[in-house]
């Protein structure tokens, strides 16, 4: 909106609160005239019959009360003032609603560091049609199943429960999707490091043997006289169920608990696990003093790291300061692109264990040897 | 908020509130249903209390309220101040309730403030729009026709609305509990 229009509308609103009807009338004339030239659609929205009837009703009520109290002339004057004032206010509101751009609001939020709120608004806008459709569908199904309007009304709490639970599920799915993608606006953006060395990314489905493979790789490299640093994260399994993770410093062999599964929905970082500071500290120590010409093994980096949390600060520092000759990283398949982007890796080999029934150790060894 | 879920829940429950305003709110408005403002207020209260019970974090209700206001401005009803002020006050009331109390009491306090301030907000808005003379005349008319002081009429309205808010808040808390159990896979 042009600055001169802003000034005109501000003056019109201020003048509309005058006690003199001719001033209020002039304000209404100016506001409507300016809108006629600047945004006729906004004026058309004001001229809807239902809205105009509402304004007239409010003005008549005020006029009747004042007429009863102070006489007909005064009542008519006040009624006209109220009507004209409402016309000014509604016209200005209509123009404002049409001129404020949602994209600009989101961009402004981003500039002032409120990216998360901007993303929340974006998510809400995206989900609004789906939720609106769900409300309609659920209501129709509810009416049909209830066998009548009154029966349907009596069972409204059940309908509300279904809708609220559905909304909660969609919110959970949205959080999971954002976590998996390491969403930059809902989370801290992970800084990229320029990784020059050959990077072997080991991926595969849960339970495909990623950690056992890395244990074999470490043993193989050490047997061949190579320096190896980093950490492994073997699962803690009880009665065949994965209940957590330990973390082991490859250089020292020290092992501590990193995470344990907790009650549903009470985990940290959008996961079902509670994490322990001791685990992160061990991971940090494992990456702190890497000998020159070592191969760095990291098992594994997850959504938490790709959002800049967890082990990421230590990983980033290690990649910036140490003189490694190779890097082996475990990551789930959906995160491979995000990891490669975060590492800014120039020389990458991705080994998907689901494509390799045998010869896995050889594949990793050859991928590393190609370079070093 | 380190976890993403409070943010996504705030977005979704704010959007649900907006979607219900657009569907049920429009239907009630077109049908000229009595107490439609109170009914939609109850809808908002249920959304906010459920959100706060599922994601018990300070500020999450405010984010949902801002989301509802955002949707109201850009997709639903334009920039008419009444509903926006109503959503804002309701959001602040529920957030305040959950800061000073816990459990159903928090929801009841939120409901009492949200619904109790509604008549006062309408009176203030009417006062601003119609001017002092018209507002005073209306109050005198109420007093002389009904034979009672207009202030007591307002107090009666506020008390009635606050009672609805208290009952609605507690009911919303219990409903949120059922939603929580349903999401956990319980009965």
For residue A273, which of A252, A254, A247, A253 has the smallest C-alpha distance? Answer: A247
Q: B171 to chain A nearest CA, in Å?
A: 10
Q: How large is the average pLDDT for residues A220-243?
A: 88
Angstrom distance (rounded) from CA B71 to CA B7:
16
B125 pLDDT more than 80: no
Q: A219 to chain B nearest CA, in Å?
A: 37
Q: A97 to chain B nearest CA, in Å?
A: 5
**Structural domains of chain A, with CATH:** 3-100 (no CATH), 110-180 (no CATH), 198-369 (3.40.50.300)
Q: What is the pLDDT of residue B1?
A: 41
Q: B100 to chain A nearest CA, in Å?
A: 23
Say whether residue B131 is in contact with chain A using an 8 A CB cutoff.
yes
Q: What is the pLDDT of residue B146?
A: 66
Q: What is the pLDDT of residue A187?
A: 45
Q: Which residue of B has its CA nearest to A120?
A: B11
pLDDT digits (tens, 9 = 90+) for A10-19: 999 889 888 8
Mutate to test the interface with A, among B137, B138, B167, B170 (most CBs of A within 10 A): B137
Q: Find chain B residues with C-beta within 8 A of A131's C-beta.
A: 12, 15-16, 18-19
Mutate to test the interface with B, among A139, A160, A182 (most CBs of B within 10 A): A160
B187 pLDDT more than 70: no
B61: left (phi over 0), alpha (psi -120 to 50) or beta: alpha
pTM (predicted TM-score): 0.59
Say whether residue B10 is in contact with chain A using an 8 A CB cutoff.
yes
Angstrom distance (rounded) from CA B7 to CA B14:
10
Angstrom distance (rounded) from CA A268 to CA B3:
6
Q: How large is the average pLDDT for residues A242-258?
A: 90
Q: What is the pLDDT of residue B157?
A: 84
- Boundaries of every domain in chain B: 5-183
User: Of the candidates A164, A265, A268, which has its C-beta nearest B50's C-beta?
Assistant: A164
A22 pLDDT more than 70: yes
User: Of the candidates B15, B20, B133, which has its C-beta nearest A124's C-beta?
Assistant: B15
Q: B175 to chain A nearest CA, in Å?
A: 7
Q: Find chain B residues with C-beta within 8 A of A105's C-beta.
A: 70
Interface touch A119/B24, C-beta < 8 Å = no
In chain B, the percentage of residues whose pLDDT exceeds 70 is 89
Q: How large is the average pLDDT for residues A267-289?
A: 81
Q: What is the pLDDT of residue A372?
A: 47
Q: Find chain B residues with C-beta within 8 A of A121's C-beta.
A: 11, 66-67, 70
Say whether residue B138 is in contact with chain A using an 8 A CB cutoff.
yes
Longest dimension (CA), chain A: 106
A363 pLDDT more than 70: yes
In chain A, the percentage of residues whose pLDDT exceeds 70 is 89
Mutate to test the interface with B, among A168, A262, A306 (most CBs of B within 10 A): A168
Q: Find chain A residues with C-beta within 8 A of B4's C-beta.
A: 175, 178-179, 183, 186-187, 270
Q: What is the pLDDT of residue A189?
A: 45
pLDDT digits (tens, 9 = 90+) for B21-72: 777 777 777 777 788 888 888 999 999 999 999 998 899 999 999 998 888 7
Angstrom distance (rounded) from CA A319 to CA A323:
8
pLDDT digits (tens, 9 = 90+) for A52-86: 887 888 888 888 888 887 888 888 888 898 889 88
> Mean pLDDT score of chain A, rounded to an integer?
82
Say whether residue B133 is in contact with chain A using an 8 A CB cutoff.
yes
CB pairs under 8 A between A and B: 185
In chain B, the percentage of residues whose pLDDT exceeds 90 is 36
Q: What is the pLDDT of residue B96?
A: 94
Interface touch B130/A78, C-beta < 8 Å = yes
User: Of the candidates B8, B14, B78, which has its C-beta nearest A93's C-beta?
Assistant: B78
B98 pLDDT more than 90: yes
User: Which residues 6+ apart lie within 8 Å of A68 measured at CB?
Assistant: A75, B137, B141
B102 pLDDT more than 70: yes
Angstrom distance (rounded) from CA B118 to CA B120:
5
Q: What is the pLDDT of residue B3?
A: 63
Confidence of residue B108 (pLDDT cuts 50, 70, 90): very high
DSSP string, chain B: --SSHHHHHHHHHHHHHHHHIIIIIHHHHHTT-TTHHHHHHHHHHHHHHHHHHHS--TTHHHHHHHHHHHHIIIIIS-S-HHHHHHHHHHHHHHHHHHHH--HHHHHHHHHHHHHHHHHHHHHHHHHHHH-HHHHHHHHHHHHHHHSS-HHHHHHHHHHHHHHHHHHHHHHHHHHHHHHHHHHTT--
Q: Which residue of A has its CA nearest to B67?
A: A121
Q: Which residue of B has its CA nearest to A270?
A: B3
- Between A99-108, A161-170, A191-200, B129-138, the lowest mean confidence (pLDDT) is in A99-108
Interface touch B79/A94, C-beta < 8 Å = yes
Cβ-contact A302, A331 below 8 angstroms: yes
């Amino acid at each position: 909106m042009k600055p001169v229009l802003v000034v005109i509308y501000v003056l019109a609103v201020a003048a509309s609160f005058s006690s003199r009807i001719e001033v209020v009338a002039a304000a209404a004339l100016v506001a409507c005239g300016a809108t006629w030239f600047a945004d006729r659609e906004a004026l058309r929205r004001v001229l809807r019959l239902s809205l105009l009837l509402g304004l007239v009703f409010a003005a008549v009520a005020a006029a009747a009360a004042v007429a009863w109290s102070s006489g007909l002339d005064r009542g008519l004057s006040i009624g006209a003032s109220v009507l004209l004032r409402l016309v000014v206010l509604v016209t200005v509101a209509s123009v404002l609603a049409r001129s404020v751009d949602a994209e600009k609001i989101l961009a402004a939020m981003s500039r002032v560091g409120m990216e998360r709120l901007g993303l929340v608004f974006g998510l809400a806008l995206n989900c609004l049609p789906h939720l609106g459709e769900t409300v309609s569908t659920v209501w129709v199904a509810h009416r049909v199943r209830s066998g009548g309007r009154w029966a349907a009304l009596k069972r409204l709490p059940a309908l509300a429960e279904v809708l609220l639970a559905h909304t909660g599920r969609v919110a959970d799915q949205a959080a999971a999707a954002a976590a998996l993608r390491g969403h930059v606006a809902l989370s801290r953006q992970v800084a990229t490091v320029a990784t020059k060395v050959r990077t072997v990314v080991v991926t595969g489905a849960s339970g495909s043997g990623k950690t056992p493979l890395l244990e074999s790789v470490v043993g193989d490299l050490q047997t061949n006289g190579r320096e190896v640093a980093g950490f492994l994260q073997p699962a803690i399994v009880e009665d065949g169920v994965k209940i957590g993770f330990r973390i082991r410093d490859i250089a020292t062999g020290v092992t501590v608990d990193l995470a344990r599964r907790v009650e549903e929905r009470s985990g940290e970082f959008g996961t079902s696990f509670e994490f322990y500071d001791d685990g992160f500290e061990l991971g940090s120590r494992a990456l702190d003093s890497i000998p020159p010409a070592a191969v760095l093994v990291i098992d594994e980096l997850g959504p938490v790291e790709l959002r800049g949390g967890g082990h990421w600060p230590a990983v980033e520092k290690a990649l910036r300061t140490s003189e490694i000759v190779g890097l082996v990283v475990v990551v789930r398949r959906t995160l491979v692109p995000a990891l490669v982007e975060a590492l800014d890796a120039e020389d990458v080999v991705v080994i998907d264990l689901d494509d390799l029934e045998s010869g896995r150790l050889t594949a990793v060894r050859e991928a590393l040897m190609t370079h070093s | 908020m380190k976890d993403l879920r409070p943010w996504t829940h705030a977005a979704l429950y704010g959007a649900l509130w907006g979607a219900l305003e657009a569907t049920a709110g429009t239907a009630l408005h077109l049908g000229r249903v009595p107490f439609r403002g109170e009914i939609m207020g109850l809808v908002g209260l249920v959304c906010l209390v459920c959100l706060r019970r599922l994601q018990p974090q300070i500020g999450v209700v405010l984010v949902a309220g801002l989301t509802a206001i955002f949707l109201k401005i850009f997709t639903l009803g334009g920039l008419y101040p009444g509903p926006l002020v109503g959503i804002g006050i309701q959001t602040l009331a529920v957030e305040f309730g959950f800061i000073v109390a816990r459990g159903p009491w928090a929801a009841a306090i939120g409901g009492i403030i949200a619904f109790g301030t509604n008549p006062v907000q309408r009176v203030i808005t009417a006062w601003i729009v119609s001017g002092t003379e018209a507002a005073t005349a209306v109050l005198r008319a109420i007093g002389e026709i009904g034979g009672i002081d207009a202030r007591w009429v307002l107090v009666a309205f506020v008390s009635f609305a606050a009672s609805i808010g208290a009952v609605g808040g507690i009911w919303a808390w219990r409903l949120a509990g059922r939603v929580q159990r349903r999401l956990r896979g319980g009965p």
